[in-house]
Amino acid sequence: MNTKELEEALVERFLRYVNVPSQSHPNGGSKVPSTETQWDMARLLQGELKSLGLKDISLSDKCVLTAQLPANLPSGTPLPPTIGFCAHIDTVDVSLSPVVKPRRLHYTGGDITLNAEKNIIMRAAQHPELSPYVGQELIVTDGTSVLGADNKAALANIMTALATLVNDPAIPHGNICVAFVPDEECGLWGSKNMDFSKFPADYAYTIDCCALGEVVYETFNAGSAEITIHGVSAHPMSAKGVLVNPTLLAVDFVNLFDRKETPECTEGTEGYIWCQTIRSNPTTATVELNIRDHDKARYERRKALIAENVEKLRRMEPRCRVEYTMEDTYGNIADAVTDENKQAIDHIYTAMNRLGITPHTIAMRGGTDGSFISTKGILTPNYFTGGLNFHSNCEFLPIPSLRKSYEVTMMLIALALGKHG
């Protein structure tokens, strides 16, 4: 395939996938997948994997789709590491339409009218990220939805790579496994429900960040805490010396934390504790905290601080009863690096170097499916899809960037062969 044919093949797949609405909805993981439409997306991919002849295709009761492409190396060749690819099948729900109506255009600069009827315009002045793409073919939305390049550009990328390998047995490759997971956008619930025996990767990749060249292998360590404060209720006429107000104690509790170590006061690799919710009534108050830090030791200190502040509150008001739970949600990908698997990250830079792509490494203030998968000992860094403005109706996908993301995928498969290739 020449460049043009390759781009058309990628775009055709991408448009087919965005045509399936598959928003997820936050539900705390109580039901996975969170929406029925994600099954439509998974079944479409399952059918395509079957047509390609992949092995061990499995769609779990949690809508996690896994499959294997066995190595095609001459018998007797030592097997290179098994490489995994993971992408999410859901799109984010940010109160925009679940139905995506993509449009392809040649960008000549200036504003882009996404929707003339509704007067939705992407203004170049407010979107300087458009300027590097003058002269390129873009896929944009009609202004009423996200585009869903997050993460359907990755689905198109991985599926096209599998099709290329199946259709051209002359391209050598080791064992490859893939996982397509639901509910990434609402808490990584798909990857958290993966059966890792069906994803036997030595290391893996997600393709789930933005512009051409982006690389992420540092994410937050993330956890949450829930503190429940039981007070003593009383009628105001006899409340003096009796009533213990849990609402005020919840306020006292959150005031024990440093107001400078919050999301709104931090950036880069600075961590925080985010007071998300205080719910209260005359007898009980509940405080929900999110804990985030790139550095594992600092993250653990933040958890210890929460426990210390609970103790302080108990001392401040011995008549209240305080209970708390804390839970780790995902880890920093970088903490899973070992001498054996660090090539997974090195290969991204080698691939980009060979393809003439300038890498842009980001310490992500969030997590990816790879942040969870990495906690299972499978190092899973992340590279660009090529799309921009994720989670916005101004999301767009430059077609040449989509192609380059695919070329990185193919190069990573080649590099995995190492000295066995």
Residues labelled catalytic: 90, 184
Q: Which residues of 295-308 are buried (b: 16+ CB within 10 A; e: fewer)?
A: beeebeebbebbee
> What is the x/- site pattern for Zn ion, positions 147-166, by CB under 5 A?
---xx---------------
In the complex, what is the shortest distance from the CB of residue 62 to Zn ion, in angstroms, rounded to a whole number? 18
CA–CA separation, 5 and 84 (whole Å):
26
Q: 208 or 218, CB closer to Zn ion?
A: 208
Part in contact with Zn ion (CB under 5 A); list of ranges 31-39, 145-153, 315-323, 391-399: 145-153
CB 71 within 8 A of CB 3: no
Q: Which of residues 234-293 bind Zn ion (CB under 5 A)?
A: none
Q: 231 or 367, CB closer to Zn ion?
A: 367
Q: Which of residues 79-98 bind Zn ion (CB under 5 A)?
A: none
For the record, the structure tokens of 259 come out as: 């107001």
Q: 216 or 250, CB closer to Zn ion?
A: 216
CA dist 311 → 74, 260, 278, 307 (Å): 64, 22, 19, 6
In the complex, what is the shortest distance from the CB of residue 91 to Zn ion, in angstroms, rounded to a whole number? 8
329 in contact with Zn ion (CB under 5 A): no
Q: Comparing C-alpha atoms, which of 80, 67, 59 is closest to residue 162?
A: 67
Instruction: Write out the DSSP string of 213-260.
Output: TEEEEE--EEEEEEEEEE-B---GGG-TTT-B-HHHHHHHHHTTS-TT
Q: 192 or 302, CB closer to Zn ion?
A: 192
In the complex, what is the shortest distance from the CB of residue 368 to Zn ion, in angstroms, rounded to a whole number? 7
Q: 107 or 217, CB closer to Zn ion?
A: 217
Q: 220 or 257, CB closer to Zn ion?
A: 220
- Position 368: which residue type? T
> What is the x/- site pattern for Zn ion, positions 193-212, by CB under 5 A?
---------------x----
Q: Comparing C-alpha atoms, which of 238, 152, 216, 179 is closest to residue 362?
A: 216
In the complex, what is the shortest distance from the CB of residue 127 to Zn ion, in angstroms, rounded to a whole number? 20
- Position 153: which residue type? A
CB 39 within 8 A of CB 33: yes
In the complex, what is the shortest distance from the CB of residue 106 to Zn ion, in angstroms, rounded to a whole number? 27
In the complex, what is the shortest distance from the CB of residue 200 to Zn ion, in angstroms, rounded to a whole number? 24
**Residues in contact with 385: Cβ distance below 8 Å, sequence separation at least 6, in sequence order:** 149, 150, 151, 153, 154, 157, 207, 208, 209, 210, 397, 401, 402, 405
Q: Which of residues 35-54 bind Zn ion (CB under 5 A)?
A: none
Interface residues toward Zn ion, by CB under 5 A:
150-151, 208
